[in-house]
Amino acid sequence: MNVTIVDYNSGNISSVINSFKEVAKDKVNIEVTSDLNKIKSSDKVVLPGQGSFKSCVDALHNINGLVDTLNQFTIKDKKPLLGICVGLQMFADVGYEETETDGLGWISGKVSKIDNQGGKFKLPHIGWNQLNILKDSKIFNDIKNNSHMYFVHSYEFVPEDKNVITATTDYSSDIVCSVEKENIFGTQFHPEKSDKIGLKIIENFIDL
C-alpha cells in the first residue's frame, strides 16, 4: 500500500514524515512528493499544513495541476485523505486569515479567527488540550474520550453541517478539532506531535 504525504512547500513537515514512517515501518510505503502521478496512484493521501490559510492555499495553487489532482483523488475517486492543521482548514469554502481566500470547498464552511473573548484566551492556542469525542470516527478507533492532543492555531474551521464534526476541544468555545465526511478526514490538532495517542490516530488512518 502507498501512502503519499503531499509536499507543497507549506513549512516544515519533517515530524509528519517521521511519525508516518515510524508507524508504517516496512508494511506500508510512505512517499513524500508533489508528483501528480504518484499522488493519483496512491492509496491514501496526507495533506499537512503549517502557516496561514492563505499561504497554504497559494502554495497548493503554485504547483500546476495539484489542486485538480487532489480534487480527483478525494471527490471523484473517493480515496481516503487526511488533512492536518491547516490541511484540515483548507477543506472549507473560504478562510479569513490575512485576507478572504477561497479554500478547496470539500466540506462547506469557513475558517475564522478564534474568539479570544477580548484577550481572555491567548492566541495562538498552543499546547495540549482534551478531545471531546462526539461520535465514532474510524481514526478514533481505541482512542479514549478526553485524551490530550497537541494544538498550534489561531483560526478554527466552522463547518455548516455539524454532522461532520467528530470531536471538539474547549478553548474559548467548542472548537472543531476533527471531522469525517465519507473518505475525508481532518484533525486541527497535530497527531504527529501528540505522543503515542497521536501515533495511534496515524495508525488508524493507515489501517483504513
170-196 per-position pLDDT tens digit = 998 899 999 999 999 999 999 999 999
**Angle subtended by helix axes 195-206 and 14-24, to nearest 10:** 70
CA distance 145 to 155: 23
CATH number of the domain to which 139 belongs: 3.40.50.880
* Residue 89 near residue 111 (C-beta atoms within 8 A): yes
Q: The pTM is what?
A: 0.97
119-136 per-position pLDDT tens digit = 889 899 999 999 999 999
**184: which residues sit within 8 A by CB, 6+ positions away?**
74, 80, 81, 83, 91, 106, 107
pLDDT band at 146 (very low <50, low <70, confident <90, very high): very high
CA distance 164 to 176: 10
Q: Which residues carry out catalysis?
A: 85, 190, 192
* Residue 166 near residue 98 (C-beta atoms within 8 A): no
The boundaries of the domain holding residue 178 are 2-206
Q: How many domains is the chain partitioned into structurally?
A: 1
